[in-house]
Chain A
Protein backbone atom coordinates (compact mmCIF):
# COMPACT_ATOMS: atom_id res chain seq x y z
CA UNK A 1 0.00 0.00 0.00
CA UNK A 2 1.25 3.46 -0.88
CA UNK A 3 2.57 5.61 1.92
CA UNK A 4 0.02 8.26 3.05
CA UNK A 5 0.53 11.71 1.57
CA UNK A 6 -0.02 13.29 4.98
CA UNK A 7 0.01 11.56 8.34
CA UNK A 8 -0.53 13.42 11.58
CA UNK A 9 -0.74 11.62 14.91
CA UNK A 10 -1.19 12.91 18.42
CA UNK A 11 -0.37 16.44 17.35
CA UNK A 12 -0.45 18.96 20.19
CA UNK A 13 0.38 22.63 20.25
CA UNK A 14 -0.02 25.24 22.96
CA UNK A 15 0.52 28.98 22.96
CA UNK A 16 1.12 29.93 26.57
CA UNK A 17 -2.04 28.71 28.31
CA UNK A 18 -4.07 28.20 25.14
CA UNK A 19 -4.22 24.64 23.79
CA UNK A 20 -4.55 25.17 20.04
CA UNK A 21 -4.26 21.47 19.20
CA UNK A 22 -5.21 18.68 21.60
CA UNK A 23 -3.98 15.50 19.91
CA UNK A 24 -4.98 15.77 16.26
CA UNK A 25 -4.90 12.59 14.15
CA UNK A 26 -5.35 12.78 10.39
CA UNK A 27 -4.35 10.49 7.55
CA UNK A 28 -4.65 11.63 3.95
CA UNK A 29 -3.98 9.17 1.17
CA UNK A 30 -2.13 10.08 -2.02
CA UNK A 31 -4.46 11.58 -4.59
CA UNK A 32 -7.20 12.27 -2.03
CA UNK A 33 -9.18 15.52 -1.84
CA UNK A 34 -9.44 16.10 1.90
CA UNK A 35 -11.32 18.83 3.71
CA UNK A 36 -10.56 20.10 7.18
CA UNK A 37 -13.72 21.77 8.32
CA UNK A 38 -14.03 23.92 11.38
CA UNK A 39 -14.93 27.34 12.73
CA UNK A 40 -12.38 30.12 13.18
CA UNK A 41 -9.89 29.22 15.90
CA UNK A 42 -10.61 25.48 15.66
CA UNK A 43 -6.97 24.61 14.87
CA UNK A 44 -7.08 24.26 11.07
CA UNK A 45 -4.39 26.80 10.28
CA UNK A 46 -2.18 25.67 13.17
CA UNK A 47 -2.34 22.11 11.85
CA UNK A 48 -1.27 23.03 8.33
CA UNK A 49 1.31 25.52 9.57
CA UNK A 50 2.98 22.73 11.53
CA UNK A 51 3.02 20.59 8.37
CA UNK A 52 4.68 23.34 6.37
CA UNK A 53 7.14 24.51 9.01
CA UNK A 54 5.59 27.88 9.87
CA UNK A 55 4.71 26.81 13.39
CA UNK A 56 6.96 24.79 15.69
CA UNK A 57 5.50 21.41 16.52
CA UNK A 58 4.56 20.70 20.13
CA UNK A 59 4.00 16.99 20.77
CA UNK A 60 3.16 14.27 18.26
CA UNK A 61 4.13 13.33 14.74
CA UNK A 62 3.64 14.99 11.38
CA UNK A 63 4.75 13.24 8.21
CA UNK A 64 4.54 13.99 4.53
CA UNK A 65 5.03 11.10 2.11
CA UNK A 66 6.30 9.09 5.07
CA UNK A 67 9.01 11.58 6.08
CA UNK A 68 9.12 13.69 9.22
CA UNK A 69 8.31 17.35 8.56
CA UNK A 70 11.01 18.56 10.96
CA UNK A 71 13.91 16.15 10.36
CA UNK A 72 13.37 15.80 6.61
CA UNK A 73 12.06 19.30 6.03
CA UNK A 74 13.82 19.78 2.68
CA UNK A 75 12.05 16.75 1.22
CA UNK A 76 8.67 17.35 2.84
CA UNK A 77 8.54 21.05 1.93
CA UNK A 78 9.48 20.30 -1.67
CA UNK A 79 6.41 18.03 -1.87
CA UNK A 80 3.99 20.70 -0.69
CA UNK A 81 2.61 23.87 -2.22
CA UNK A 82 0.70 26.09 0.15
CA UNK A 83 -1.73 28.89 -0.56
CA UNK A 84 -2.00 30.71 2.73
CA UNK A 85 -5.12 32.47 3.94
CA UNK A 86 -3.27 35.75 4.50
CA UNK A 87 -2.32 37.48 1.28
CA UNK A 88 1.27 38.64 1.23
CA UNK A 89 2.25 42.08 -0.02
CA UNK A 90 5.35 42.91 -2.04
CA UNK A 91 6.09 46.45 -3.12
CA UNK A 92 9.22 45.85 -5.10
CA UNK A 93 8.73 43.29 -7.86
CA UNK A 94 6.23 42.49 -10.61
CA UNK A 95 4.20 39.34 -10.07
CA UNK A 96 5.97 37.33 -12.77
CA UNK A 97 9.29 37.98 -11.06
CA UNK A 98 7.78 36.91 -7.72
CA UNK A 99 6.82 33.59 -9.30
CA UNK A 100 10.39 33.11 -10.55
CA UNK A 101 11.67 33.85 -7.04
CA UNK A 102 9.23 31.33 -5.60
CA UNK A 103 10.40 28.66 -8.06
CA UNK A 104 14.00 29.48 -7.19
CA UNK A 105 13.40 28.95 -3.46
CA UNK A 106 12.36 25.39 -4.42
CA UNK A 107 15.61 24.89 -6.34
CA UNK A 108 14.14 25.40 -9.81
CA UNK A 109 16.31 27.63 -12.01
CA UNK A 110 14.75 30.31 -14.18
CA UNK A 111 14.95 28.49 -17.52
CA UNK A 112 13.25 25.40 -16.11
CA UNK A 113 10.51 27.41 -14.38
CA UNK A 114 9.53 29.42 -17.45
CA UNK A 115 7.04 26.98 -19.02
CA UNK A 116 5.22 26.31 -15.74
CA UNK A 117 5.07 30.04 -14.89
CA UNK A 118 3.75 30.97 -18.35
CA UNK A 119 1.08 28.26 -18.09
CA UNK A 120 0.04 29.29 -14.57
CA UNK A 121 -0.19 32.98 -15.50
CA UNK A 122 -2.34 31.99 -18.46
CA UNK A 123 -4.60 29.62 -16.47
CA UNK A 124 -5.10 32.20 -13.74
CA UNK A 125 -5.85 34.96 -16.24
CA UNK A 126 -2.87 36.98 -15.07
CA UNK A 127 -0.71 37.08 -18.22
CA UNK A 128 -1.66 40.66 -19.00
CA UNK A 129 -0.87 41.65 -15.43
CA UNK A 130 2.50 39.89 -15.22
CA UNK A 131 4.41 43.20 -15.07
CA UNK A 132 2.11 44.65 -12.39
CA UNK A 133 2.92 44.89 -8.71
CA UNK A 134 0.70 43.02 -6.26
CA UNK A 135 -0.87 46.22 -4.96
CA UNK A 136 -2.17 46.91 -8.48
CA UNK A 137 -4.20 43.67 -8.57
CA UNK A 138 -7.80 43.24 -7.49
CA UNK A 139 -8.65 41.02 -4.51
CA UNK A 140 -9.65 38.15 -6.80
CA UNK A 141 -6.45 38.46 -8.83
CA UNK A 142 -4.39 38.40 -5.64
CA UNK A 143 -6.14 35.20 -4.60
CA UNK A 144 -5.39 33.64 -8.01
CA UNK A 145 -1.76 34.77 -7.75
CA UNK A 146 -1.58 33.14 -4.33
CA UNK A 147 -2.67 29.84 -5.88
CA UNK A 148 -0.22 30.22 -8.80
CA UNK A 149 2.58 30.74 -6.27
CA UNK A 150 1.62 27.52 -4.49
CA UNK A 151 1.77 25.57 -7.75
CA UNK A 152 4.91 27.02 -9.27
CA UNK A 153 7.10 24.05 -8.30
CA UNK A 154 4.45 21.53 -9.40
CA UNK A 155 3.99 19.98 -5.94
CA UNK A 156 2.37 16.60 -5.33
CA UNK A 157 0.47 17.90 -2.34
CA UNK A 158 -1.44 21.18 -2.37
CA UNK A 159 -2.54 22.78 0.88
CA UNK A 160 -5.12 25.50 0.59
CA UNK A 161 -6.03 27.52 3.63
CA UNK A 162 -9.44 29.08 3.04
CA UNK A 163 -8.73 29.54 -0.69
CA UNK A 164 -12.05 31.15 -1.52
CA UNK A 165 -12.39 33.40 1.52
CA UNK A 166 -13.65 36.79 0.43
CA UNK A 167 -13.88 36.05 -3.31
CA UNK A 168 -16.95 36.60 -5.46
CA UNK A 169 -19.20 33.75 -6.59
CA UNK A 170 -17.87 33.62 -10.16
CA UNK A 171 -14.25 33.34 -9.06
CA UNK A 172 -15.18 30.83 -6.38
CA UNK A 173 -16.71 28.54 -9.00
CA UNK A 174 -13.72 29.04 -11.28
CA UNK A 175 -11.32 28.13 -8.46
CA UNK A 176 -13.41 25.09 -7.59
CA UNK A 177 -13.18 23.88 -11.18
CA UNK A 178 -9.44 24.38 -11.17
CA UNK A 179 -9.09 22.42 -7.93
CA UNK A 180 -11.15 19.60 -9.47
CA UNK A 181 -8.78 19.61 -12.47
CA UNK A 182 -5.74 19.43 -10.18
CA UNK A 183 -7.32 16.57 -8.29
CA UNK A 184 -8.12 14.77 -11.55
CA UNK A 185 -4.45 15.18 -12.48
CA UNK A 186 -3.56 13.12 -9.38
CA UNK A 187 -2.68 15.84 -6.88
CA UNK A 188 -3.40 15.36 -3.20
CA UNK A 189 -5.33 18.33 -1.88
CA UNK A 190 -5.84 19.40 1.71
CA UNK A 191 -8.39 22.17 1.94
CA UNK A 192 -9.31 24.04 5.06
CA UNK A 193 -12.54 25.91 4.88
CA UNK A 194 -15.44 27.16 6.83
CA UNK A 195 -17.65 27.12 3.74
CA UNK A 196 -19.51 23.87 4.25
CA UNK A 197 -20.79 23.85 0.69
CA UNK A 198 -17.19 23.95 -0.54
CA UNK A 199 -16.21 20.88 1.46
CA UNK A 200 -19.38 19.03 0.47
CA UNK A 201 -18.89 19.72 -3.23
CA UNK A 202 -15.17 19.08 -3.54
CA UNK A 203 -13.90 16.76 -0.85
CA UNK A 204 -13.80 12.98 -0.90
CA UNK A 205 -13.16 12.91 2.80
CA UNK A 206 -13.81 15.48 5.50
CA UNK A 207 -12.60 15.87 9.06
CA UNK A 208 -14.49 18.14 11.41
CA UNK A 209 -12.21 19.95 13.84
CA UNK A 210 -13.18 22.05 16.83
CA UNK A 211 -11.18 23.25 19.84
CA UNK A 212 -8.04 21.53 18.54
CA UNK A 213 -9.62 18.07 18.20
CA UNK A 214 -10.92 16.04 15.30
CA UNK A 215 -14.54 15.33 16.19
CA UNK A 216 -15.43 13.11 13.26
CA UNK A 217 -13.94 11.99 9.97
CA UNK A 218 -15.44 10.35 6.90
CA UNK A 219 -16.84 10.97 3.45
CA UNK A 220 -19.52 13.68 3.34
CA UNK A 221 -22.09 10.95 2.57
CA UNK A 222 -21.01 8.78 5.50
CA UNK A 223 -21.18 11.71 7.87
CA UNK A 224 -24.57 12.92 6.75
CA UNK A 225 -25.95 9.39 6.82
CA UNK A 226 -24.65 8.78 10.31
CA UNK A 227 -25.11 12.13 11.97
CA UNK A 228 -27.10 14.35 9.70
CA UNK A 229 -30.54 15.67 10.28
CA UNK A 230 -32.89 17.28 7.86
CA UNK A 231 -32.79 21.02 7.61
CA UNK A 232 -35.06 24.00 7.22
CA UNK A 233 -33.66 27.22 5.81
CA UNK A 234 -35.54 30.43 6.41
CA UNK A 235 -34.65 33.80 4.93
CA UNK A 236 -35.83 36.76 6.98
CA UNK A 237 -36.43 40.33 5.96
CA UNK A 238 -34.04 41.29 8.75
CA UNK A 239 -32.43 39.50 11.66
CA UNK A 240 -33.05 40.76 15.17
CA UNK A 241 -31.53 39.44 18.39
CA UNK A 242 -34.97 39.33 19.97
CA UNK A 243 -35.39 36.06 18.03
CA UNK A 244 -32.87 34.29 20.25
CA UNK A 245 -35.25 33.57 23.17
CA UNK A 246 -38.08 32.68 20.76
CA UNK A 247 -35.97 29.98 19.12
CA UNK A 248 -34.23 28.66 22.22
CA UNK A 249 -35.73 25.17 21.73
CA UNK A 250 -34.06 24.73 18.32
CA UNK A 251 -30.55 24.03 16.99
CA UNK A 252 -29.83 26.51 14.25
CA UNK A 253 -27.11 28.51 12.54
CA UNK A 254 -27.48 32.12 11.55
CA UNK A 255 -25.69 33.96 8.75
CA UNK A 256 -26.97 37.50 8.32
CA UNK A 257 -30.70 37.08 7.43
CA UNK A 258 -30.48 33.32 6.84
CA UNK A 259 -31.41 30.80 9.54
CA UNK A 260 -30.73 27.09 9.11
CA UNK A 261 -32.46 24.66 11.49
CA UNK A 262 -31.41 21.05 11.97
CA UNK A 263 -34.49 18.95 12.70
CA UNK A 264 -35.54 15.32 12.59
CA UNK A 265 -38.86 15.91 10.86
CA UNK A 266 -39.18 19.15 8.86
CA UNK A 267 -42.92 18.70 8.26
CA UNK A 268 -43.80 18.67 11.96
CA UNK A 269 -41.24 21.31 13.04
CA UNK A 270 -41.88 23.87 10.31
CA UNK A 271 -45.24 25.23 11.52
CA UNK A 272 -43.93 25.77 15.05
CA UNK A 273 -40.72 27.49 13.85
CA UNK A 274 -42.76 29.83 11.65
CA UNK A 275 -45.08 30.53 14.55
CA UNK A 276 -42.17 31.36 16.87
CA UNK A 277 -40.56 33.73 14.34
CA UNK A 278 -43.87 35.43 13.59
CA UNK A 279 -44.52 35.89 17.31
CA UNK A 280 -41.36 38.02 17.44
CA UNK A 281 -42.70 40.27 14.68
CA UNK A 282 -40.04 39.19 12.19
CA UNK A 283 -41.09 38.97 8.57
CA UNK A 284 -40.25 35.72 6.72
CA UNK A 285 -39.20 36.07 3.07
CA UNK A 286 -38.79 32.44 2.06
CA UNK A 287 -38.72 28.92 3.49
CA UNK A 288 -36.90 25.85 2.17
CA UNK A 289 -36.66 22.41 3.63
CA UNK A 290 -33.71 20.22 2.71
CA UNK A 291 -32.34 16.76 3.24
CA UNK A 292 -29.39 16.19 5.57
CA UNK A 293 -26.20 18.14 4.83
CA UNK A 294 -22.73 18.61 6.32
CA UNK A 295 -24.01 21.78 7.89
CA UNK A 296 -26.39 19.68 9.99
CA UNK A 297 -23.58 17.27 10.84
CA UNK A 298 -21.42 20.15 11.96
CA UNK A 299 -24.18 21.57 14.10
CA UNK A 300 -24.87 18.16 15.59
CA UNK A 301 -21.20 17.63 16.50
CA UNK A 302 -20.24 21.04 17.77
CA UNK A 303 -23.57 22.41 18.91
CA UNK A 304 -22.86 25.64 17.02
CA UNK A 305 -22.69 27.05 13.53
CA UNK A 306 -19.39 27.09 11.68
CA UNK A 307 -19.24 30.90 11.65
CA UNK A 308 -20.02 31.23 15.33
Chain B
Protein backbone atom coordinates (compact mmCIF):
# COMPACT_ATOMS: atom_id res chain seq x y z
CA UNK B 1 0.00 0.00 0.00
CA UNK B 2 1.32 3.45 -0.98
CA UNK B 3 0.18 5.24 2.21
CA UNK B 4 1.91 8.54 1.42
CA UNK B 5 0.31 8.52 -2.04
CA UNK B 6 -3.12 7.75 -0.58
CA UNK B 7 -2.77 10.49 2.05
CA UNK B 8 -1.58 12.98 -0.57
CA UNK B 9 -4.53 12.32 -2.84
CA UNK B 10 -6.98 12.57 0.08
CA UNK B 11 -5.38 15.91 0.96
CA UNK B 12 -5.74 17.05 -2.61
CA UNK B 13 -9.40 16.05 -2.77
CA UNK B 14 -10.29 17.68 0.56
CA UNK B 15 -8.22 20.77 -0.25
CA UNK B 16 -9.98 21.02 -3.59
CA UNK B 17 -13.50 21.33 -2.17
CA UNK B 18 -12.42 23.45 0.82
CA UNK B 19 -10.71 25.93 -1.52
CA UNK B 20 -14.08 26.58 -3.14
CA UNK B 21 -16.22 26.40 0.02
CA UNK B 22 -18.59 29.00 -1.40
CA UNK B 23 -19.58 26.38 -3.98
CA UNK B 24 -19.24 23.26 -1.86
CA UNK B 25 -20.20 24.06 1.75
CA UNK B 26 -22.21 27.27 1.96
CA UNK B 27 -24.96 26.49 -0.63
CA UNK B 28 -26.12 23.40 1.29
CA UNK B 29 -26.40 25.41 4.50
CA UNK B 30 -28.20 28.32 2.85
CA UNK B 31 -30.69 26.20 0.91
CA UNK B 32 -31.47 24.06 3.97
CA UNK B 33 -31.98 27.24 6.01
CA UNK B 34 -34.35 28.50 3.33
CA UNK B 35 -36.28 25.20 3.30
CA UNK B 36 -36.73 25.48 7.07
CA UNK B 37 -37.89 29.09 6.91
CA UNK B 38 -40.03 28.95 3.75
CA UNK B 39 -41.41 25.40 3.77
CA UNK B 40 -41.35 24.74 7.47
CA UNK B 41 -42.66 27.93 8.95
CA UNK B 42 -45.28 28.54 6.26
CA UNK B 43 -46.55 24.99 5.86
CA UNK B 44 -46.54 24.42 9.61
CA UNK B 45 -49.66 26.63 9.71
CA UNK B 46 -51.45 23.98 7.56
CA UNK B 47 -49.69 20.74 8.51
CA UNK B 48 -49.02 21.09 12.19
CA UNK B 49 -47.81 17.59 13.04
CA UNK B 50 -46.76 14.35 11.31
CA UNK B 51 -46.42 11.28 13.53
CA UNK B 52 -46.75 13.64 16.48
CA UNK B 53 -43.72 15.69 15.34
CA UNK B 54 -44.00 19.43 14.45
CA UNK B 55 -43.72 19.77 10.66
CA UNK B 56 -40.51 21.87 10.57
CA UNK B 57 -38.80 19.34 12.80
CA UNK B 58 -40.16 16.47 10.71
CA UNK B 59 -38.56 17.70 7.49
CA UNK B 60 -35.12 18.44 8.97
CA UNK B 61 -33.67 14.88 8.94
CA UNK B 62 -34.65 14.60 5.26
CA UNK B 63 -32.92 17.90 4.50
CA UNK B 64 -29.79 16.67 6.25
CA UNK B 65 -29.85 13.51 4.17
CA UNK B 66 -30.52 15.30 0.87
CA UNK B 67 -27.66 17.74 1.48
CA UNK B 68 -25.36 14.90 2.50
CA UNK B 69 -25.96 12.63 -0.45
CA UNK B 70 -26.08 15.40 -3.06
CA UNK B 71 -22.74 16.81 -1.92
CA UNK B 72 -21.05 13.43 -1.55
CA UNK B 73 -22.14 12.39 -5.05
CA UNK B 74 -21.29 15.61 -6.81
CA UNK B 75 -17.84 15.88 -5.18
CA UNK B 76 -16.48 12.60 -6.49
CA UNK B 77 -18.35 12.73 -9.79
CA UNK B 78 -17.27 16.24 -10.71
CA UNK B 79 -13.72 15.83 -9.44
CA UNK B 80 -13.18 12.65 -11.47
CA UNK B 81 -14.75 14.06 -14.63
CA UNK B 82 -12.82 17.30 -14.25
CA UNK B 83 -9.56 15.38 -13.94
CA UNK B 84 -10.42 13.44 -17.07
CA UNK B 85 -11.35 16.49 -19.11
CA UNK B 86 -8.45 18.68 -17.93
CA UNK B 87 -5.77 16.04 -18.51
CA UNK B 88 -4.97 15.72 -14.80
CA UNK B 89 -5.79 12.03 -14.54
CA UNK B 90 -2.54 10.89 -16.24
CA UNK B 91 -0.65 12.27 -13.21
CA UNK B 92 -2.41 9.66 -11.08
CA UNK B 93 -2.48 6.82 -13.58
CA UNK B 94 1.28 7.02 -14.25
CA UNK B 95 2.13 7.18 -10.54
CA UNK B 96 2.70 4.06 -8.41
CA UNK B 97 -0.86 4.19 -7.08
CA UNK B 98 -3.25 1.24 -7.28
CA UNK B 99 -6.86 1.50 -8.40
CA UNK B 100 -7.87 0.82 -4.79
CA UNK B 101 -5.77 3.71 -3.47
CA UNK B 102 -7.05 6.17 -6.08
CA UNK B 103 -10.66 5.09 -5.48
CA UNK B 104 -10.34 5.27 -1.69
CA UNK B 105 -8.86 8.76 -1.83
CA UNK B 106 -11.70 10.03 -4.00
CA UNK B 107 -14.35 8.31 -1.89
CA UNK B 108 -12.90 9.65 1.38
CA UNK B 109 -12.78 13.16 -0.11
CA UNK B 110 -16.42 12.95 -1.22
CA UNK B 111 -17.49 11.35 2.05
CA UNK B 112 -15.96 14.20 4.05
CA UNK B 113 -17.73 16.80 1.95
CA UNK B 114 -21.09 15.04 2.35
CA UNK B 115 -20.43 14.50 6.04
CA UNK B 116 -19.45 18.14 6.72
CA UNK B 117 -22.51 19.38 4.83
CA UNK B 118 -24.81 16.99 6.71
CA UNK B 119 -23.40 18.03 10.09
CA UNK B 120 -23.74 21.73 9.23
CA UNK B 121 -27.43 21.32 8.37
CA UNK B 122 -27.88 19.36 11.59
CA UNK B 123 -26.27 22.24 13.51
CA UNK B 124 -28.61 24.71 11.80
CA UNK B 125 -31.54 22.57 12.93
CA UNK B 126 -30.27 22.55 16.49
CA UNK B 127 -29.62 26.30 16.47
CA UNK B 128 -32.73 27.47 14.58
CA UNK B 129 -35.46 25.19 15.87
CA UNK B 130 -33.87 23.52 18.85
CA UNK B 131 -33.90 20.11 17.14
CA UNK B 132 -33.45 17.29 19.64
CA UNK B 133 -31.13 14.48 18.50
CA UNK B 134 -32.19 11.27 20.21
CA UNK B 135 -29.23 9.17 19.14
CA UNK B 136 -26.31 11.50 18.32
CA UNK B 137 -23.78 8.73 17.63
CA UNK B 138 -26.26 6.85 15.44
CA UNK B 139 -26.99 10.06 13.53
CA UNK B 140 -23.34 10.88 12.92
CA UNK B 141 -22.59 7.27 11.97
CA UNK B 142 -25.53 7.11 9.58
CA UNK B 143 -24.60 10.41 7.89
CA UNK B 144 -21.08 9.06 7.43
CA UNK B 145 -22.29 5.73 6.02
CA UNK B 146 -24.68 7.33 3.53
CA UNK B 147 -22.04 9.87 2.58
CA UNK B 148 -19.60 7.03 1.79
CA UNK B 149 -22.24 5.16 -0.25
CA UNK B 150 -23.06 8.18 -2.41
CA UNK B 151 -19.44 9.32 -2.73
CA UNK B 152 -18.72 5.85 -4.17
CA UNK B 153 -21.69 6.16 -6.49
CA UNK B 154 -20.46 9.58 -7.61
CA UNK B 155 -17.01 8.18 -8.34
CA UNK B 156 -18.55 5.43 -10.44
CA UNK B 157 -20.60 8.01 -12.36
CA UNK B 158 -17.59 10.28 -12.82
CA UNK B 159 -15.55 7.41 -14.25
CA UNK B 160 -18.27 6.39 -16.69
CA UNK B 161 -19.31 9.91 -17.74
CA UNK B 162 -17.79 11.59 -20.79
CA UNK B 163 -19.41 15.01 -20.48
CA UNK B 164 -20.88 17.34 -17.85
CA UNK B 165 -24.22 16.66 -19.48
CA UNK B 166 -24.06 13.01 -18.38
CA UNK B 167 -23.58 14.06 -14.76
CA UNK B 168 -26.28 16.71 -14.89
CA UNK B 169 -28.71 14.12 -16.29
CA UNK B 170 -28.03 11.83 -13.34
CA UNK B 171 -28.40 14.66 -10.84
CA UNK B 172 -31.48 16.31 -12.31
CA UNK B 173 -33.43 13.29 -13.51
CA UNK B 174 -32.62 10.71 -10.84
CA UNK B 175 -30.97 11.96 -7.67
CA UNK B 176 -33.03 15.07 -6.99
CA UNK B 177 -36.44 13.51 -7.87
CA UNK B 178 -35.69 10.39 -5.84
CA UNK B 179 -34.68 12.57 -2.88
CA UNK B 180 -37.91 14.57 -3.03
CA UNK B 181 -39.97 11.40 -3.49
CA UNK B 182 -38.15 9.67 -0.64
CA UNK B 183 -40.29 11.40 1.97
CA UNK B 184 -38.34 14.50 2.96
CA UNK B 185 -41.49 16.61 3.23
CA UNK B 186 -44.08 13.95 4.05
CA UNK B 187 -44.64 10.58 5.59
CA UNK B 188 -45.40 7.93 3.00
CA UNK B 189 -48.41 6.97 5.11
CA UNK B 190 -49.99 10.13 3.64
CA UNK B 191 -49.72 8.60 0.13
CA UNK B 192 -52.16 6.21 -1.59
CA UNK B 193 -51.12 2.58 -1.24
CA UNK B 194 -49.80 2.26 -4.81
CA UNK B 195 -47.51 5.25 -4.26
CA UNK B 196 -46.38 3.75 -0.96
CA UNK B 197 -45.44 0.54 -2.80
CA UNK B 198 -43.41 2.51 -5.36
CA UNK B 199 -41.59 4.33 -2.54
CA UNK B 200 -40.28 1.01 -1.24
CA UNK B 201 -38.19 0.75 -4.43
CA UNK B 202 -36.61 4.14 -3.85
CA UNK B 203 -33.31 3.61 -1.97
CA UNK B 204 -33.26 7.23 -0.78
CA UNK B 205 -36.54 6.60 1.09
CA UNK B 206 -34.57 4.28 3.42
CA UNK B 207 -31.78 6.83 3.89
CA UNK B 208 -34.22 9.58 4.87
CA UNK B 209 -36.20 7.37 7.22
CA UNK B 210 -33.04 5.92 8.71
CA UNK B 211 -31.73 9.30 9.79
CA UNK B 212 -35.20 10.42 10.86
CA UNK B 213 -35.24 7.48 13.24
CA UNK B 214 -31.84 8.33 14.76
CA UNK B 215 -32.85 11.99 15.26
CA UNK B 216 -36.57 11.91 16.05
CA UNK B 217 -37.24 8.28 16.91
CA UNK B 218 -39.93 7.98 14.22
CA UNK B 219 -39.62 6.35 10.83
CA UNK B 220 -41.80 4.93 8.05
CA UNK B 221 -39.32 2.11 7.43
CA UNK B 222 -37.81 -0.38 9.86
CA UNK B 223 -34.54 1.28 11.05
CA UNK B 224 -32.69 -2.01 10.68
CA UNK B 225 -33.73 -2.24 7.02
CA UNK B 226 -32.63 1.37 6.50
CA UNK B 227 -29.24 0.57 8.00
CA UNK B 228 -28.76 -2.56 5.88
CA UNK B 229 -29.87 -0.70 2.76
CA UNK B 230 -27.24 1.99 3.42
CA UNK B 231 -24.61 -0.64 4.17
CA UNK B 232 -25.47 -2.63 1.03
CA UNK B 233 -25.25 0.51 -1.13
CA UNK B 234 -21.92 1.39 0.45
CA UNK B 235 -20.48 -2.03 -0.31
CA UNK B 236 -22.01 -2.29 -3.79
CA UNK B 237 -20.93 1.16 -5.01
CA UNK B 238 -17.49 1.02 -3.37
CA UNK B 239 -16.70 -2.33 -4.96
CA UNK B 240 -18.06 -1.24 -8.34
CA UNK B 241 -16.06 2.01 -8.33
CA UNK B 242 -12.85 0.17 -7.37
CA UNK B 243 -13.41 -2.52 -10.00
CA UNK B 244 -14.01 0.05 -12.74
CA UNK B 245 -10.90 1.98 -11.65
CA UNK B 246 -8.82 -1.20 -11.75
CA UNK B 247 -10.18 -2.18 -15.15
CA UNK B 248 -9.33 1.25 -16.58
CA UNK B 249 -12.72 1.38 -18.31
CA UNK B 250 -13.39 4.86 -19.71
CA UNK B 251 -10.21 6.22 -18.12
CA UNK B 252 -7.54 4.31 -20.05
CA UNK B 253 -7.47 3.58 -23.75
Contacts and interface: CB of A to CB of B under 8 A. Distances in A.
Interface residues of A, number: 33
A106 B101 CA distance: 12
Interface string A87-102: 1111111000000111
A82 B253 contact: no
Contact of B88 (A52, A74, A88): A88
B2 A87 contact: no
A15 B253 CA distance: 8
A94 to B, nearest CB: 11
Contact of B94 (A77, A86, A109): A77
A100 B91 CA distance: 12
Interface in A93-129: 93, 100-102, 104-109
Contacts of A49: 253
A56 B90 contact: no
Given A54-B94, A74-B96, A86 B87 contact: yes
Interface in B1-31: 2-5, 7-9, 11-12, 15-16, 19-20
Contacts of B97: 105
Contacts of B5: 104-107
B26 to A, nearest CB: 17
A106 B3 CA distance: 10
B34 interface: no
B96 A73 contact: yes
A90 B88 contact: yes
B20 A105 contact: no
A53 interface: yes
Nearest to A13: B253
Contacts of A54: 90, 93-94, 252-253
A89 B87 contact: yes
Contact of B2 (A74, A84, A101): A74
Given A93-B15, A104-B7, A106-B5, A77 B95 contact: yes
B92 interface: yes
Contacts of A101: 8-9, 11-12
B15 A92 contact: yes
Contacts of A194: none
Contact of B9 (A52, A56, A100, A105): A105
Contacts of A219: none
Contacts of B9: 101, 104-105
A107 to B, nearest CB: 5
A78 interface: yes
Nearest to A75: B96
Nearest to B7: A104
A77 B9 CA distance: 17
A89 B7 contact: no
Given A54-B93, A56-B253, A109-B4, A92 B87 contact: no
Contacts of B8: 100-101, 104-105
A149 interface: yes
Contact of B91 (A73, A91, A105, A109): A105
A55 interface: yes
Nearest to B252: A56
A105 B87 contact: no
Given A49-B253, A54-B252, A55-B253, A105 B15 contact: no
Interface of A: 15, 49, 52-56, 73-75, 77-78, 80, 82, 84, 86-93, 100-102, 104-109, 149
Kindly list the 10 A-B residue pairs having the minimum CB-CB distance in the complex, ordered from nearest: A104-B8, A105-B95, A88-B87, A74-B96, A89-B86, A52-B94, A77-B96, A107-B4, A55-B253, A78-B96
9 contacts: A53-B93, A74-B96, A77-B95, A84-B87, A92-B16, A93-B19, A102-B91, A105-B5, A105-B8
Interface of B: 2-5, 7-9, 11-12, 15-16, 19-20, 86-88, 90-98, 248, 252-253
